[in-house]
Amino acid sequence: MSISQSNKEALKNPWVLSLILFLFIVLSANAVFIYLAFKSPPNLVVEDFYERGERYEETHKKIEKEKALGWTGVIMTPAAMRVNQLQNYEVLIQGKASASVELESVTLNAYRPSDARVDFSADMMSSKPGIYATEISFPLPGIWDLIVVAKHGEHEFLVTKRVNVKP
C-alpha cells in the first residue's frame, strides 16, 4: 500500500465518501435557507417601529397611572375554545377593595400574533356589576392575544390574556 497524494484509494473509502456527502448536504441546506431568508422576509416586522419606540415613555406613564388606580381585572374564557363557534367571553374588573367599577366603554381586542389580517374587536356590555360580556367567534385556530380596554373618563385600564383556539 503506497501513501501518496496521487493515490485514488481514499475516494473508495466509505468514511471519506460519507464525510464528503455530509458536507455537501450541510452546505446545500445552508444555501437553501439563505435563499429562503432573502426571498420571503418576515411578516411580523412592524412598519412604524421608530414611532412606537418614541411612544415608549408615554406608554410607561400610562402604566403607572393604571397601577395608581388600584383596579384589577381577569378575563374569563370558555374551557374549550373552538374555531367558528360563537362563545361567551367575560371580564371582571374591580376597583380598590374589590368594589365593582361602572365603566363608560369596554372593548375586547383579539390579536393573532402570526397574522394581523384577522385581528378584530368587539364591544362588551355590562351583564352584572363589574362584569362585562360579549360573544365572539375566532376565524382561525392557534394562539391569540386578548386585550380588554376599559375606559372610565380619562382613566384607561388594560387586561390581557393569551389563549389557544383549537380547530
What are the tens digits of pLDDT across the range 60-75?
888 888 888 889 999 9
What is the distance between the alpha carbons of residues 20 and 11, in angstroms, rounded to a whole number?
Answer: 10
Handedness of CA 46, 51, 57, 63 (dihedral sign): negative
Cα torsion 22, 23, 24, 28 to 10°: value is: 100
What is the distance between the alpha carbons of residues 88 and 61, in angstroms, rounded to a whole number?
Answer: 33
CATH topology for the 65-165 domain: Immunoglobulin-like (2.60.40)
pLDDT tens for the chain, 167 residues long, are 556 566 677 777 888 889 999 999 999 999 999 998 888 766 666 677 778 777 888 888 888 888 888 899 999 999 999 999 999 999 999 988 888 888 999 999 999 988 888 999 999 999 999 999 999 999 999 999 999 999 988 888 999 999 999 99
Rg of the chain on CA atoms, in Å: 28
| Per-domain boundaries in the chain | 9-39, 65-165
